[in-house]
Structure 1
Amino acid sequence: MLVFHLAVILFASKIAGDLSVRLGQPSVLGKLLIGIVLGPAVLGIITNQNILHQLSQIGVLLLMFIAGLETDVEELRQTAKPSTYVGIAGILVPLGLGYLTGLLMELSTLEAIFLGLLLSATSVSISVQALKELDRLKSREGMTILGAAVIDDVLVIIALAFVMSAAGGEVNLAALVGKKAAFFGLAILAGWKAVPWILKRFAPLRVSEAVISAALLICFFFSALAEYAGVAAIIGAYIAGVAISLTDYKHEVFEKVETIGYSVFVPVFFTTIGVAVNFTGLSRYLWVIVLLSVLAILTKLVGSAIGARLSGFGWRSSLGIGAAMVSRGEVALIIAAIGLERGLLAESLFPVIVLVVLVTTVVTPPMMKAFFKQ
């Protein structure tokens, strides 16, 4: 059955992506929507099997790894200021308005704060694909978006630790912050010293594709290390890509990993986002879904755009950056799962949040296309 599902996903995602481009939209939009059609919400051809989920996780890691390989480190360094502005402003606005909305929904103070944090999360894996298609990934806007995503992820997770501590969970805040600091320190050191050494040692091995295997090893190790430190695995994959981009093996790794990723794993990632949707029993929460979806889109769009504008971007570029930060993706789903486990998110609201996350993910590519359109 898995082989059949993979065949359907690969065929449908390529056709849907092509159709989306013909209609003037990024191909990723078609790939996301076809997942909903194939999944239990419509046709029920594809079920959200665990193994498909695992393959999709490899897909998102490879997508961010490729983004790292394409990153201009000097440009990334020069966009540190706007990235910080975008990251912080993109948290404050959804956090504040999300908290007030939670109170209006008669949630407790901690539950309302958690809702604000949930709306503050961002995941730029979808945005990366849209940026590639719009030829903006290596631009100043693209580097700002990637830098802001890292800042956003770290700050939201740290803030979440404070909330869990206040809720009575046994959270060692010093240890949690220390683990994150240690991860970035270790990742930078490893990227500087260990990554070039590993690639050089693998290159002479008398086996096929030794360098590519080494590159994937580095990608997955950095991702696992990030996850262990409480940072999103996609951040680890991105940093691994940046590290390899500074070596002589950049182009070889990029070409072959892009082929591996986009032939199988990345299409599975895009499609399974839609497959996860199930509308059963959600009709009574329709107004909540609409309210939170609008709130999630506008707060992130406006907050991040204000941050970009304050750092010197024009309004069109600022809104394009804000649009790229709208998608909540797997980062918000991870936070929602933590909230459900710790009693900070009601069980009845979890499927609502899943749908809201999907809405933010689907609207991101066309919004980016509209604002970044020349």
Structure 2
Amino acid sequence: MHVPMLSDLLIILLLSVGVILLFNRVKLPSIIGYLVTGMVAGPYALGLVHAPAKVNQLAELGVMLLMFIIGLEFSLHSLSRIKRAVFLGGALQVGLTIAAVYVLARGMGSPPATAVFWGFLIALSSTAIVLKLLQEQSQVESVHGQVILAILIFQDLIVVPMMLLVPLLSGQIIGSPWLTVSIMLAKMLGVLVLVVLGAKYLMPRLLLLVARTRSRELFLLTIIGTCVGVAWLTAEAGLSMALGAFLAGLIISESEYSYEAVSNVMPFREVFASFFFVSIGMLFDVQVLLEYPVRILLLTLGVMALKVLLTPAAAAFLRVPVRAVLLAGLALCQVGEFSFILSLAGLEAGLISHSSYQLFLAISILTMCLTPVVMLVAEPVVSHMMRVPLPQALQEHLHPEPPNAEPATSLGESVLDNHLVVIGYGLNGRNLVRAAKHAHIPYVIVDTDADTVHRQLKRGEPILYGDATHAHVLEHVRIERARVVVVAISDPAGSLRVVAAVRRLNPEACIIVRSLYLHERKELYQLGATEVIAEEMETSIEILARVLARYLVPLHEIDALVRQLRGGNIVRPSSLTGAEWSGMHVGLAGLELATVPVPDEAVLVGKTLSESEMRQHYGINLLAIRRNGHMLDQMRPDTIIHGHDTLYVFGKPDQVERLAHELHADETFA
């Protein structure tokens, strides 16, 4: 690599760091920062970059990886629940925008092909900016968030046929257009056949072999190699590399390895995508903005107003609440990043002139810069608009119930919430899953053993292949909604990274970690583990208890000694056996809500609640009884306590412990 190229990369990286830091301070998306970086460093401003062609080559890699990621995340199964919103809402939004822009462009004197192409450019919105803002506002799973997501998905997919139509619109096709289109479709069909065969037969076997090696480097090389290989194949067939990258992602997306693939490729995508946006910024002539500020501002506001009007018109056919329709229109008012790719293709094909291209860049960048402000004021603006009475017919059409209030998860149709996440499916993980099934606790498993994941998926287990140290993998198991996370892997360093990643995404979850040695506990607790169970300590305690039992030491003395050992060595309650069951509690100002099992021979069995006099004897309140998997929450004086009941009691810890000990003492001496 030549020194000028290195100096250009250094300038771009250093300038990007400064600009992105500034933009983060003022709460603007980083994409806009990259565009500004390109403008400042480009030939039309300071001219700091001396080899823009080399930067553009890196930008092409960024585009390819962007399309590859879209293909990876395009799961037919996960999108099945919102397919109506994707294909109906998305098609209407894109179609209406193209039609409206075509009419306006023709009225301004543009040729038909150019007018259609302008419609292509204006129809697309920024997936990166909008989703980032929705995530920051925790609105992705709202009704309007799902409508926005559906339309953005369609826009990302429609980019591919739009790019294929550019040569046809530009008149570059020699001979019969229909023959050329037929040949192009035949090539696409041939590539798709190869993709389907590869996705069904080749890639699953290849990825299984690679995943079995447990080599992250080999896995990454295989994923990137697949992307580049299919992109090269489509380029050789006369199609675009972006289409090939998208199809490569699609090959892997339906396999159990897609989440791990996204996690590995994501850092590269971010780096190369940044060069793409910087390269776009370098192509923008700031002088155009200074020469025609009023014209550019009016056109920018016109584009945003047009999309604000047309997007709700499309979303209205989805029969979602009026509020969601209006919020979707405001959120999708900008021009998207894939419009930049299309604009470059149109410029090369002669569909738009250089001056029109500069005008388009100015409008697009301004719409992106204004999007955070628009989304910030969207809620109060829509609330004000909702006060305007609508005609009765329109109110009936805009149905108040959303078709899909909850998004589908990638691990099944049910929505994961308040669930258990088991990281590692060894002996501990399998036993825990078996117990979760018995107790009807929703759970999901994460493991890096390809064979295990392959087998368990066939058995219907909700298991995901991936490295739990990656945030992307954790997000797919809804870690932010999990109640308990159990880290049951044998890698001490990996456990540390997993705990840190989980705690960063879910500050409230209970994280229980299995460790091998006592000295590993301190750092795990520092990183956010709620409870660490060291096998070294548990083995020694189990041996101690069994030895003392052989010498006929009373069980309550063994329990006391175990509690003393644990109190001095491990900051956690004693094992969940017998009386210690009551240690599972929620503390409330010196009181606890605890569960106490009732053995068959306990003195309370066969007594009514009034006869048990639990309040008088133990000073605790009985809230509910769980019996045969069902909850008895109506506590009456004549309710009889049965063996194997589980009592839900509320009281002071020592009182709960005394009740539990006496019940199990009855069992011991019976």
Give me the TM-score of the superposition, normalised by structure 2. 0.47
One of 190, 193, 206 as aligned partner of 2:198: 190
Q: What corresponds to 1:265 in structure 2?
A: 272
Cα gap change, 1:90/1:197 in structure 2, threshold over 3 Å: closer, same or farther?
Answer: same
Q: Check if 1:278 corresponds to 2:288.
A: no
Q: What corresponds to 2:154 in structure 1?
A: 148
One of 33, 38, 42 as aligned partner of 1:39: 42
| DSSP-derived class of the 2:78 partner | helix
Shift of 1:216: 0.5
- Whole-angstrom CA distance in 1 between matches of 2:175 and 2:294: 32
Cα gap change, 1:349/1:133 in structure 2, threshold over 3 Å: closer, same or farther?
Answer: same
Cα gap change, 1:119/1:65 in structure 2, threshold over 3 Å: closer, same or farther?
Answer: same
Over residues 269-288 of structure 1, what are the superposed CA-to-partner deviations in whole Å (9 max), with x where a residue is unaligned?
23222122123467666666
Q: 1:307 is aligned with what amino acid?
A: A
Over residues 48-83 of structure 1, what are the superposed CA-to-partner deviations in whole Å (9 max), with x where a residue is unaligned?
611111112222333443454455543323222222
Shift of 1:179: 3.5
One of 289, 303, 315 as aligned partner of 1:308: 315
One of 89, 94, 117 as aligned partner of 1:91: 94
Contact 1:93 1:303 in 2 (8 A): yes
Over residues 120-152 of structure 1, what are the superposed CA-to-partner deviations in whole Å (9 max), with x where a residue is unaligned?
456746656666766777974565245312443
Q: What corresponds to 1:256 in structure 2?
A: 264
Q: What corresponds to 2:11 in structure 1?
A: 8
Q: What corresponds to 1:223 in structure 2?
A: 231
| DSSP-derived class of the 1:149 partner | helix
Over residues 165-220 of structure 1, what are the superposed CA-to-partner deviations in whole Å (9 max), with x where a residue is unaligned?
69987532222334344444543443333322332344467987111011011122
Give the aligned CA root-mean-square deviation in angstroms.
Answer: 4.0
Q: What corresponds to 2:181 in structure 1?
A: 173
Q: 1:61 is aligned with what amino acid?
A: M
- Whole-angstrom CA distance in 1 between matches of 2:149 and 2:196: 18
Q: 2:155 is aligned with what amino acid?
A: A
One of 9, 21, 24 as aligned partner of 2:24: 21
- Whole-angstrom CA distance in 2 between matches of 1:225 and 1:55: 20
Over residues 82-118 of structure 1, what are the superposed CA-to-partner deviations in whole Å (9 max), with x where a residue is unaligned?
2222432233333233223333333344443444344
Q: What corresponds to 2:488 in structure 1?
A: none
Contact 1:183 1:226 in 2 (8 A): yes
Cα gap change, 1:154/1:301 in structure 2, threshold over 3 Å: closer, same or farther?
Answer: farther
Q: 2:122 is aligned with what amino acid?
A: L
- Whole-angstrom CA distance in 2 between matches of 1:211 and 1:29: 33
One of 312, 321, 329 as aligned partner of 2:339: 329
Q: Check if 1:240 corresponds to 2:248.
A: yes
Query: Relative CO higher for 1 or 2, CA cutoff 8 Å, sep ≥ 6?
Result: 1
Q: Check if 1:56 corresponds to 2:59.
A: yes
Shift of 1:233: 4.2
- Equivalenced residue count is 369
Contact 1:320 1:367 in 2 (8 A): yes
Q: What corresponds to 2:593 in structure 1?
A: none
Where does the alignment leave 5 or more consecutive residues of structure 1 unmatched?
none
- Whole-angstrom CA distance in 2 between matches of 1:59 and 1:370: 32
The structure whose residues are more often helix, as a share, is 1
Cα gap change, 1:6/1:100 in structure 2, threshold over 3 Å: closer, same or farther?
Answer: same
Q: 2:341 is aligned with what amino acid?
A: V
- Whole-angstrom CA distance in 1 between matches of 2:359 and 2:256: 47
Cα gap change, 1:66/1:155 in structure 2, threshold over 3 Å: closer, same or farther?
Answer: closer
Shift of 1:255: 3.1
**Between 75-84 and 115-124, the greater mean CA deviation after superposition:** 115-124
Cα gap change, 1:62/1:248 in structure 2, threshold over 3 Å: closer, same or farther?
Answer: same
Shift of 1:3: 1.4
Where does the alignment leave 5 or more consecutive residues of structure 2 unmatched?
381-670
Contact 1:323 1:368 in 2 (8 A): no
Q: 1:330 is aligned with what amino acid?
A: F
Shift of 1:227: 5.3
Q: What corresponds to 1:345 in structure 2?
A: 352
Q: 1:332 is aligned with what amino acid?
A: L
Q: What corresponds to 2:108 in structure 1?
A: 105
Cα gap change, 1:256/1:181 in structure 2, threshold over 3 Å: closer, same or farther?
Answer: same
| DSSP-derived class of the 1:200 partner | helix
Contact 2:130 2:332 in 1 (8 A): no
- Whole-angstrom CA distance in 1 between matches of 2:125 and 2:248: 20
Q: What corresponds to 1:319 in structure 2?
A: 329
Contact 2:39 2:286 in 1 (8 A): no
The structure whose residues are more often strand, as a share, is 2
Q: 2:25 is aligned with what amino acid?
A: R
- Whole-angstrom CA distance in 2 between matches of 1:229 and 1:296: 36
One of 78, 81, 89 as aligned partner of 1:78: 81
One of 193, 212, 227 as aligned partner of 2:220: 212
Contact 2:347 2:353 in 1 (8 A): no
Contact 2:52 2:279 in 1 (8 A): no
Cα gap change, 1:13/1:178 in structure 2, threshold over 3 Å: closer, same or farther?
Answer: same
Cα gap change, 1:39/1:60 in structure 2, threshold over 3 Å: closer, same or farther?
Answer: same
- Whole-angstrom CA distance in 2 between matches of 1:227 and 1:364: 35
Cα gap change, 1:2/1:121 in structure 2, threshold over 3 Å: closer, same or farther?
Answer: same
